[in-house]
């Protein structure tokens, strides 16, 4: 019995030990599961926090970048406004300094500066001074020498081969020597052509300079036409802003030693109506800041006063100033009558000054308006901006009945029926060429003869697709135009970045010149017959070119 009880107790104890073990195992598993869940939750929480932090950092970086982008954009717009304002200020400063700039400018136009100097380009042998390639050498023709047995058994065959090679070699030598002689002949021909061209250039320069000397002689002698012509050149050579009209008429009265200048003043819109620009960030726009109307009117009045004094300065500081005791300036402005719409040219300022009085002025320090009104008693429009006219001190139109006036050259107007282009002076022919291209639809102007860099005229084709700068050479000659002028034209085109070059001649061009122009691709040649046709077609002129012989016909 006791054994049974003891056994039962042991079984029960054993059961309680297993149960406890099961409980402990379950508790351990629960702890592990809780720990795993806690670890996973902690990892998820960490990942979520990292993601939130990354998103917050990205947002912060994006905000910084956006703020920087906006800041840079605002700064660029402000810089744009400042640059536009500075551009306007530079225009105003240029207008305010018209007188001072002209006074400080060294006088450039003299009779010596009108003359031409000949500086021919260095002779270009075009490679003809080098021997032609392909000089024959006997080693290239000689047969391979035979060996010991060849010399014993094939000596006759080798001698025949050597004789044939020698014959071929001599033939090549003869042809090469002929090529050398022909090359030397072409070189001498090219050198003679170059020397003839140099002589012709010097002769043309001598003839032109002789005309300048005659012009100087007549001007210094007080010839009214020559003096008026010279002072027209002086005033035309005075550099003003591009917006100025640059138009003058001049009359010289020798008995009174008086020069009368009629000058085209710039229009009122030369004064900027905007004084600057301001960037408005809320609208992202540049607002124009208007210039006060009173300032605009005052600046325009000051400007025409500066132009008046500067013109008088140009006259009294020229090389012929001793011929002028008194100078009169009449400044006109071209506009339209508001009541009728008809074109009018009111005189806004008229002033007369003597050389003695004018020489006492310190033009760089005075007030132009006060000088004109208080010292020179000038007639100045009380309201120049409104184009209120004054009566000129000297009526220019009234003087036309007694004296000739000089203005821009019109070569076409001076040509009568069947004019001979070879009878024109080189200058007249250059101006005729200019007017021809203007009639053909180009804007053009004649360059100064003393510094033309081989350019007689520059024409501008304003076509947006095919337009550009065109360099023009005008050759009034009876002889054939050689290759050197065409080469010089190509060089000037390269220097001036021109899109086209045109050589106009009363004669014709040689074959070398034509071939060079064809290879170049952007040079056009207008010879005598085509020139006659173009004058008829575009200028309505039936011209004559009295060449000593007929030009060669080419097809």
Query: Per-domain residue ranges for the chain?
Result: 1-86, 112-210, 221-408, 411-555
Task: Determine whether 498 is exposed, middle or buried from the number of CB atoms within 10 Å of its CB (0-12, 13-18, 19+).
Answer: buried
Q: What is the pLDDT of residue 416?
A: 47
Q: What are the residue ranges in the chain where pLDDT is below 50? A: 2, 404-416, 448-452, 555
Please say whether the structural domain 411-555 has been given the CATH code 3.40.1350.10: yes
By three-state DSSP, how is residue 113 classified?
A: helix
Distances (CA, A) of 39 to 25, 27, 36, 227, 270: 21, 18, 5, 109, 83
Cα gap 365→157, rounded to integer Å: 105
Q: Are 466 and 436 in contact (CB under 8 A)?
A: no
Q: What is the pLDDT of residue 401?
A: 55
What is the reported pLDDT for 121? 85
CB of 252 within 8 A of CB of 228?
A: yes
Edge-to-edge strand list for the sheet holding 468-475: 443-446, 457-461, 468-475, 500-505, 523-526
CA–CA gap between residue 263 and residue 314 (Å, rounded): 13
- What does the pLDDT read at residue 65? 83
Handedness of CA 196, 185, 520, 517 (dihedral sign): positive
Look-up of token digits 């054994």: 3
Taking the model in full, what pTM does it have?
A: 0.57
Are 366 and 100 within 8 A, CB to CB? no
> What's the Cα-to-Cα distance from 80 to each of 46, 71, 92, rounded to whole Å?
50, 14, 19
Read off the pLDDT of residues 402-449 as tens digits, 9 standing for 90 and up: 554 444 444 444 444 567 888 877 767 877 887 788 888 776 565 544
Provide the 10 A C-beta neighbour count for residue 251.
24
Residue 189, pLDDT score: 92
In this structure, how many other beta carbons lie within 10 angstroms of the beta carbon of residue 449?
Answer: 18
- Write down the pLDDT at residue 220: 94
Pairing of strands 443-446, 457-461: antiparallel
Which pair of structure tokens corresponds to residue 58?
């990205």
Whether the CB-CB separation of 469 and 497 falls below 8 Å is answered with yes
- DSSP lists the bridge partners of residue 353 as 327
Using CA atoms, how far apart are residues 45 and 52, in angstroms rounded to an integer? 10
Res 445: pLDDT: 60
Helix (H, G, I), strand (E, B) or coil at 441: coil
CB 513 within 8 A of CB 552: no
Angle at alpha carbon of residue 184, lines to 183 and 190, rounded to 5°: 90
288: β partners: 277
Contact 331, 305 (CB under 8 A): no
Residue 404's pLDDT is 47
Tokens 């912060």 belong to which residue?
A: 60
């Amino acid at each position: 019995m006791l054994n049974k009880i003891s056994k039962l107790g042991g079984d029960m104890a054993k059961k309680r030990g297993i149960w406890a073990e099961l409980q402990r195992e379950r508790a351990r598993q629960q702890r592990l599961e809780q720990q795993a869940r806690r670890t996973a939750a902690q990892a998820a929480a960490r990942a979520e926090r990292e993601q939130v932090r990354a998103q917050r950092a990205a947002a912060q970086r994006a905000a910084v970048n956006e703020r920087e982008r906006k800041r840079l954009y605002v700064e660029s717009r402000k810089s744009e406004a400042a640059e536009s304002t500075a551009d306007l200020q530079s225009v105003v400063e240029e207008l305010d300094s018209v007188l001072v700039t002209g006074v400080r400018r060294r006088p450039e136009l003299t009779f010596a500066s009108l003359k031409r100097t000949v500086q021919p380009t260095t002779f270009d042998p075009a490679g003809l001074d080098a021997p032609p390639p392909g000089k024959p050498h006997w080693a290239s023709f000689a047969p391979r020498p035979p060996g010991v047995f060849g010399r014993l058994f094939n000596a006759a065959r080798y001698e025949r081969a050597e004789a044939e090679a020698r014959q071929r070699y001599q033939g090549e030598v003869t042809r090469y020597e002929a090529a050398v002689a022909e090359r030397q002949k072409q070189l001498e021909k090219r050198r003679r052509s170059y020397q003839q061209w140099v002589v012709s250039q010097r002769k043309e320069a001598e003839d032109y300079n002789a005309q300048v000397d005659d012009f100087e002689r007549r001007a210094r002698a007080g010839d009214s036409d020559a003096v008026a012509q010279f002072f027209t050149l002086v005033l035309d050579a005075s550099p003003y802003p591009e917006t100025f009209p640059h138009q003058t008429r001049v009359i010289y009265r020798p008995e009174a030693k008086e020069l009368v200048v009629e000058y085209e003043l710039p229009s009122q819109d030369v004064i900027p109506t905007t004084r600057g620009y301001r960037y408005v960030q809320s609208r992202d726009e540049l607002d124009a800041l208007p210039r006060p109307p009173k300032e605009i009117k005052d600046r325009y009045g000051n400007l025409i006063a500066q132009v008046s004094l500067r013109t008088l300065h140009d006259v009294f500081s020229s090389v012929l100033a001793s011929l002028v005791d008194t100078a009169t300036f009449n400044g006109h402005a071209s506009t339209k009558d508001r009541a009728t719409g008809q074109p009018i040219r009111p005189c806004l300022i008229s002033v007369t000054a003597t050389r003695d009085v004018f020489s006492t002025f310190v033009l760089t320090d005075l007030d132009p308006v006060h000088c004109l009104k208080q010292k020179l008693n000038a007639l100045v429009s009380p309201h120049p901006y409104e184009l209120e006219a004054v009566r000129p001190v000297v009526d220019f139109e009234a003087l036309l009945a007694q004296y000739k006036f000089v203005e821009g050259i019109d070569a076409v107007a001076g040509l009568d029926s069947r004019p001979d282009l070879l009878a024109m002076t080189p200058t007249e022919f250059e101006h005729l060429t200019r007017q021809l291209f203007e009639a053909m639809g180009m804007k053009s102007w004649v360059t100064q003869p003393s510094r033309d860099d081989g350019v007689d005229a520059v024409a501008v084709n304003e076509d947006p697709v095919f337009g550009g700068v065109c360099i023009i050479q005008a050759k009034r000659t009876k002889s054939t135009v050689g290759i050197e002028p065409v080469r010089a034209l190509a060089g000037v085109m390269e220097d001036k970045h021109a899109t086209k070059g045109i050589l106009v001649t009363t004669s014709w061009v040689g074959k070398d010149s034509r071939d060079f122009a064809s290879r170049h691709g952007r040079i056009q040649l207008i010879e005598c017959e085509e020139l006659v046709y173009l004058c008829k077609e575009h200028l309505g002129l039936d011209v004559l070119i009295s060449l000593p012989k007929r030009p060669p016909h080419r097809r």
